[in-house]
Amino acid sequence: MNHRPNFYIAFLLLGFIFLSSKPEKNYYNELYRPQFHFTPEKNWQSDPTGLVFYKGEYHLFYQYNPHGKECAFMHWGHAVSPDLVHWEHLPVALYPDNNSTDSVLCTAFPGSVIVDENNVLGKQAGEEKTLVAFYTSYQCGQRIAYSTDRGRSWEKYEANPVIPYDRLDDARGPKVFWYAPIKKWIMVLWRKPEGIEKHQGFSIYHSGDLVNWEYKSHIPGFFECPDLVELNVNNRPDDTRWVLFDGDGSYLVGSFNGEMFIPETGKMQSDYGNNYYANQTWNNIPDDDGRTIQIAWMKGGKFPDMPFQGQMTFPVELSLHKTGNSIRLVRTPVREIETLHGKEYHWENRNIIPGIQDNILKRCKGDCFHIMGTFDLKTANSFGFMLRHGKKTPGIEINYDVKRGTLNCLGKTVPLMPSNGKIQVEILLDRTSLEIYANQEQVVMTSCIAPPRKNNSMELFTHGGELYVDQLKVYEINAVWRDQ
């Protein structure tokens, strides 16, 4: 009997299975596709929302338009990650209410998600705790949705809205968290009381059952996207402050008694770049981790000819640093960045002389890097980096002006004083983003970029005098999407 036809059929089937299971080489590898920052596969993405950790997964929800690349028809997109860098796309979580097909009315605006540990809402169906989402249904009130299967599917609460819509205050963006000292849930909600512009800001509410909310206080001077977190000062667990964030990343440091936020500082900036907005922190980070982790939207970024519009910042850990009577926020890239490190370039104790063609970074070619360096200013008038530099078009210049004490990049200038005559920088460079952290994160600049494909070199330069490299490490960054 001739078995050859069966053999050929089996061979062809195996070949088809192999080819169909092989990752597409162009998946997440387009010219302006970030390689280690979150983006949706396609369409509009903006504000991070509903950030929560549950059973080994960081949930990232975000404002999403499933119909196109414009800011409209807001839904909650959804992704999960075990490590804050490798993300799995999940189906859309929240849809507009009241069967709305309007581009704005009753669409799912930002909010937050908590873990209902004690089944207060009464929706727990098995061993899995209920995830409860609080969101603004635009011009349709503050509403609840819940999931009993680790966020894989969502149901709308039958008695929505829990806070009715008031056309005067136009409330939005509920941030909800548990406040143990008074055993209550806290909601921070943006409002414009009585429709008065100068009163717009954040209102604080209480609830014991997640459904009935009691107004407690209001603090004016904020625009949207509220967040309120408690942080240790100088890593001391016995010394804490609360930080109240606005949508543009500006913040106040103060105290919180469960009913009212009391500022101790004036409003300060946390980012000085071109494209930083809608920052939010994760709820429910385990105590044995202990970090407060934040992410934001890179508002206003351009992604020419891409199937998507929008990207997130790289996640950061938050802390407070106090020097004398001054206290400020510190944002540090999460340690998980190290898991993406590829080839390392390393220099120590190198003297850089202006005008001499000895670019120590000439071997660093590519578009995704993690750069960390400490520089002694010596006699330099200015120094810096030229990133994504090309033969025909110039790269992106990061310049520190020694005489003026300023850091300059992409049209932004921010004061930055040396520490013991030295400047320390950490840089995250992706295909469409540049994040700069300077002098122990004293200054952070977050910006979007769109350099030409062939611009793949970098340079360290000094002008007017010598620069001493105490230490400089450059790591190539591995793409996080290749195995998807």
Give the chain's largest Cα–Cα span: 92
Specify the residue for token string 């609360």: 242
DSSP 3-state of 375 = strand
Task: Give the HSE-up count for residue 415: Cα atoms under 13 Å, Cβ half-sphere.
Answer: 2
Specify the residue for token string 């509403």: 143
Six-digit token string for 353: 């002389």
Task: Give the HSE-up count for residue 222: Cα atoms under 13 Å, Cβ half-sphere.
Answer: 31
Judge whether 47 counts as a catalytic residue.
yes
Of 47, 169, 271, 430, catalytic:
47
Contact 425, 369 (CB under 8 A): no
- CA 440/CA 418 separation, integer angstroms: 11
- CA 30/CA 51 separation, integer angstroms: 28
> How many angstroms separate the Cα of 108 from the Cα of each of 39, 43, 76, 199, 272?
19, 16, 7, 25, 30
- Strand duo 406-409 + 75-81: pairing: unpaired
User: 26 burial class (0-12, 13-18, 19+ CB within 10 angstroms)?
Assistant: exposed
Contact 246, 261 (CB under 8 A): no
- The per-type count for the chain, helices as H runs and strands as E runs, is 1, 32
DSSP 3-state of 18 = helix
- CA 104/CA 101 separation, integer angstroms: 9
Q: DSSP code of 10?
A: H
Cis peptide before 161 (omega within 30 of 0): yes
Instruction: Give the Cα-Cα-Cα angle 392, 395, 401 (nearest 5 degrees).
Output: 135
How many other C-beta atoms lie within 10 A of the C-beta of residue 195? 13
- List beta partners, residue 467: 352
Length of the chain: 484
Residues marked as catalytic: 47
